Amino acid sequence: MVIELNRDNFGEEVLKSKEPVLVDFWGPQCKPCLALMPVVEGLEQNYTGRLKITKVNAAENRMLCAKLRVLGLPTFLIYKDGIEMKRLVGENITREELIGAINAVVT
C-alpha cells in the first residue's frame, strides 16, 4: 500500500525507516505526475519488503515541499537510512529512469 505523507508523519515514515523509501511529490493538476502514478503504484509488487513507496500531495503540503527544496513536479526522492540518495525532477522522467534510480539504492 502506498503511504500518504505529510509533515506530521514524514520523519517517522521516511527518515526513521529501516528500508529505503521512494517519495513521490505530485500535484492534482500535474499531468506528468498523474501519468506516472500507475507506474509508481505498480512498483509495490516488484519491491515488496525492499522499498517503502510513499506519496506527497504538494498542493496540500507546501511547507514540507519548501523544507525539502521541492520546487517542481513531479519530483522523486529516494532515501536510505534517513539520507536522500537520489533526486529525479521534471516532466520527462521515464519509468526506466525511475526504476534505474531505485535499483541504484535498493540492494
**Tens-digit pLDDT profile for residues 20-50:** 999 999 999 999 999 999 999 999 889 999 9
**Tens-digit pLDDT profile for residues 75-105:** 999 999 999 999 999 999 999 999 999 999 9
**Residue pair 87/73 in contact by the 8 Å Cβ criterion:** no
In a domain, 100, yes or no: no
Spell out the residues 6+ positions from residue 22 whose beta carbon is closer than 8 angstroms to its own. Answer: 40, 43, 51, 52, 53, 54, 76, 77, 78, 102
Domain extent at residue 12 = 3-92
CA angle 48, 46, 91 (to 5 degrees): 115
CATH code at position 27: 3.40.30.10
CA angle 49, 69, 47 (to 5 degrees): 10
In a domain, 10, yes or no: yes
In a domain, 104, yes or no: no
Grid coordinates in use for 45? Answer: 509488487
For residue 1, is pLDDT > 90? no
In a domain, 9, yes or no: yes
The number of domains in the chain is 1
Grid coordinates in use for 93? Answer: 522522467
**Tens-digit pLDDT profile for residues 46-73:** 999 999 999 999 999 999 999 999 999 9
In a domain, 86, yes or no: yes
Active site members:
30, 33
In a domain, 106, yes or no: no
